């Protein structure tokens, strides 16, 4: 049995498990947010409660992500309904996000379709040929300050409120999402005023900041494989264009096992609550061999900025100016 056939054996939702995961996540999110809002002024309580709320907010996003793939529940109606209702906590409209994310899965590791990735990547050849102003813009863009500390919050806090893809996927879903979010924020303001909105904003920032590390590391590690279709086949793109985040059991629990990302790209119909067990089964059968990245090694991936097509790996920015004629020589 090949790896794709083996992976299909693990696909398919378990509705009872799905409802348990959803209910537990929402209860923990609601309880931690309520505790944080009720304890404003007592940082010893507020900060831990915000940390839990941030983690559960990120988990809500991962549940919505499974709904986007139609894998969390067994029916499309359940996935779509729950995915849309989760959008004010997930901080992203459902239909537009599904459109964007499906593009990402379709074109993973494709050098000709890097526009479908969350994080833009230049090749070394493009860097060598680029004028100084473009290099500066790219340096600023690829800074951890932009991609981790600031950019994700701007993306989910501001840009996802706008019809970036809404004209293709329907403005109704975007409007509905914004109305749900406004209602949710209205409740927080009514309960705790402006300090309450500050607590909420802090949980969103923390979730966005930590969550941003995930797509960066799983698709920007040193030995990632990029290619061009038709030479780039689906299986190679999925398994060699994605890594596994070996960040511990708590991380797996909070993120619904999204760190097992190569298998997720190979078969997105495997729900997150089955993904780790599926990956372990395929590993035990020697059908999958993943690039596993620990947390500290993941942070070191932040120094990787360019894809060297000749070496077939991600590299940092060149330390010294290129000699005259280097571009022509390549």
**pLDDT tens figures, 48-80:** 999 999 999 999 999 999 999 999 999 999 999
Residue 328 has pLDDT above 70, yes or no: no
Token pair in block for residue 263: 């298998």
Predicted local confidence at residue 327, as pLDDT:
44
Confidence of residue 320 (pLDDT cuts 50, 70, 90): low
Token pair in block for residue 44: 């010893």
Residue 164 has pLDDT above 90, yes or no: no
* CB-based contact 243:262 (threshold 8 Å): yes
Of 166, 152, 7, 150, the residue nearest 100 (C-alpha)? 166
Element holding 112 (H helix, E strand): none
Chain-wide mean pLDDT for the chain?
A: 93
Q: Hey, where are the domains in the chain?
A: 3-317
What is the DSSP-derived secondary structure letter of residue 19?
H
What is the rounded CA–CA span in Å between residue 121 and residue 278? 31
What is the DSSP-derived secondary structure letter of residue 30?
H
Predicted local confidence at residue 321, as pLDDT:
58
Token pair in block for residue 197: 């909105």
Q: For 280-309, what is each residue's pLDDT tens digit?
A: 999 999 999 999 999 999 999 999 999 999
Mean predicted confidence (pLDDT) in 125-147: 95
Which positions ≥6 away from 329 have C-beta within 8 Å? none
What is the rounded CA–CA span in Å between residue 195 and residue 173? 30
Residue 329 has pLDDT above 80, yes or no: no
Mean predicted confidence (pLDDT) in 11-28: 97
Which positions ≥6 away from 5 have C-beta within 8 Å? none
Q: Is 281 exposed, middle or buried (0-12, 13-18, 19+ CB in 10 A)?
A: middle
Of 128, 182, 118, the residue nearest 307 (C-alpha)? 128
Confidence of residue 195 (pLDDT cuts 50, 70, 90): very high
Q: Indicate the pTM of the whole model.
A: 0.93
On the CB side of 301, CA atoms within 13 Å amount to 27
């Amino acid at each position: 049995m090949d790896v794709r056939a083996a992976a299909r054996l693990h696909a398919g939702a378990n509705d009872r498990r799905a409802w348990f995961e959803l209910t537990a996540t929402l209860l923990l999110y609601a309880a931690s947010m309520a505790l944080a809002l009720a304890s404003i002024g007592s940082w010893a309580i507020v900060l831990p409660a915000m940390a839990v709320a941030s983690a559960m907010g990120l988990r809500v996003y991962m549940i919505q992500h499974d709904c986007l793939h139609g894998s969390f529940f067994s029916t499309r109606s359940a996935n779509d309904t729950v995915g849309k209702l989760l959008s004010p906590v997930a901080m992203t409209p459902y239909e537009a996000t599904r459109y964007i994310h499906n593009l990402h899965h379709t074109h993973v590791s494709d050098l000709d379709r890097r526009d479908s990735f969350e994080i833009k990547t230049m090749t070394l050849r493009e860097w060598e040929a680029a004028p100084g102003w473009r290099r500066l813009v790219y340096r600023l863009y690829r800074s951890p300050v932009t991609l981790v500390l600031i950019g994700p919050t701007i993306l989910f806090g501001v840009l996802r409120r706008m019809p970036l893809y809404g004209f293709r996927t329907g403005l109704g879903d975007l409007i509905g999402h914004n109305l749900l979010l406004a209602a949710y924020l209205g409740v927080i303001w009514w309960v705790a005023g402006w300090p309450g909105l500050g607590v909420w904003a802090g949980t969103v920032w923390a979730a966005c900041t930590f969550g941003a590390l995930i797509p960066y590391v799983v698709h920007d590690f040193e030995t990632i494989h990029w290619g061009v279709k038709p030479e780039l086949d689906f299986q190679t793109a999925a398994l060699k264009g994605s890594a596994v985040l070996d960040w511990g059991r708590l991380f797996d629990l909070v993120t619904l096992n999204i760190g097992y990302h190569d298998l997720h790209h190979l078969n997105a119909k495997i729900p997150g609550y089955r993904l780790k067990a599926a990956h372990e089964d395929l590993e035990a059968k020697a059908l999958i061999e993943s690039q596993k990245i620990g947390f500290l090694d993941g942070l070191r991936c932040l120094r990787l900025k360019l894809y060297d097509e000749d070496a077939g790996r991600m590299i940092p920015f060149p330390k010294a100016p290129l000699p005259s004629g280097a571009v022509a020589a390549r």
